[in-house]
Amino acid sequence: MNNGKKYSVIGVMSGTSLDGLDIIKCSFIFKKDWEYRIHKCKTVKYSKKWFQTLSTLHQKNQKKIDQISIAYGNFIAKEINEFISKDELVDIICSHGHTIFHQPEKNITLQIGDGKTIADKTGISTINNFRNLDIKLKGQGAPLVPIGDMKLFKEHKYCLNLGGFANLSIKNKTKIKAFDICPANIILNFLANKCGVEFDINGDIGRHGKVNNYLLDCLNKIKYYQINGPKSLSREWLEKNILNIDILTEIKPEDSLATFYEHIGFQIGSKLKNKSVFITGGGAFNSFLIEKISKHSLANIVLGSDDEINFKEALIFGFLGVLKLRSEINCLSEVTGAINDSCCGEIHKYLKDMN
């Protein structure tokens, strides 16, 4: 079991809201429970070229996608090499990559960032493709963070991540339920862009908008919210179910923002009871969004540290990699709906490691 062994890990994450590439150096050790330490971290903002490439790649053919996956792997490797010095000890790189397709109902998921390329260019063995095996096992391939929520953040009943999509883990002793709740930063940033800014700082634009009750009613009636079983969201879902709502093009973007804050707050708040909810993800810095969640819930809101808010998902993908190295379960069927638990991820050994 290698209990007491310390693992030094690089975790890498790129979220659907395209805020940037998150890189974290962290360590894990199992004593009585799993313990972690964050050593350093950074977010690499995407250039206009990378932002455009990643946001439109789903429209390209397979050959182009494969080419960009290798180029993106080179980009990740370059940033990791600049992030760590040559004499720093790292056991493994664990890279989520960037999601281009996620359609579990069609048994499809794709996160680009070629793992072999990352391993070759950094000289460090790399684990990627964390979602594929669960999809093959008839699961959603998401969410994957609940194993980390359960083992690293035991003290909280709820773990809520406000990223591109809001996802929630609900713990009940040794059991856990988790799912994507609703779109969050991916739609808030989209509407903020229409107001001429990159994102809505503190929710100030939405705070001064007016809720459109017709749009709010349309949003809350979306069928996804009635599904009780394992479920997950994607960019494709957003385009099909939200961006084509006619009234979005008819009302002021600041009013659309105000309406989405109310919608997101209601959808999240309705899932939270009077227990502790640990909130991370970029949306945790949005005070108006937090106010809306508080409005619709009696839960005790606990915000993570700045590093936890910004890098919790990268941290947990690092943890998933450690569990993979130990051949332990890192993907829970009770969460994803797969036919059984699994040990997800593909290991790409650096050639020197194989000699």
List pLDDT tens digits, range 104-120.
999 999 999 999 999 99
Residue 346 gets which letter from DSSP?
Answer: E
Q: Check pLDDT > 90 for residue 212.
A: yes
Percent of the chain with pLDDT over 70: 98
Q: Check pLDDT > 50 for residue 247.
A: yes
Q: Check pLDDT > 70 for residue 231.
A: yes
Q: The pTM is what?
A: 0.94
Mean pLDDT across 299-328: 97
The candidate with the shortest Cα–Cα distance to 72, out of 33, 98, 108, is: 98
d(CA 203, CA 196) in angstroms, rounded, equals 14
CATH 3.30.420.40 placement within the chain: 6-141+335-354, 146-307
pLDDT of 3: 79
pLDDT of 86: 82
Q: Which CATH architecture has domain 146-307?
A: 2-Layer Sandwich (3.30)
Residue 59 CB partners (closer than 8 Å, separation 6+): none
The strand pairing partners of 37, in sequence order, are 27
The token duo for 181 is: 């709740």
Percent of the chain with pLDDT over 90: 93
The token duo for 82 is: 């600049």
Q: Check pLDDT > 70 for residue 248.
A: yes
Looking at domain 6-141+335-354, does it have CATH number 3.30.420.40?
yes
pLDDT of 351: 67
Q: What is the chain's mean pLDDT, rounded?
A: 95
Preceding amide of 230 cis, omega within 30? no
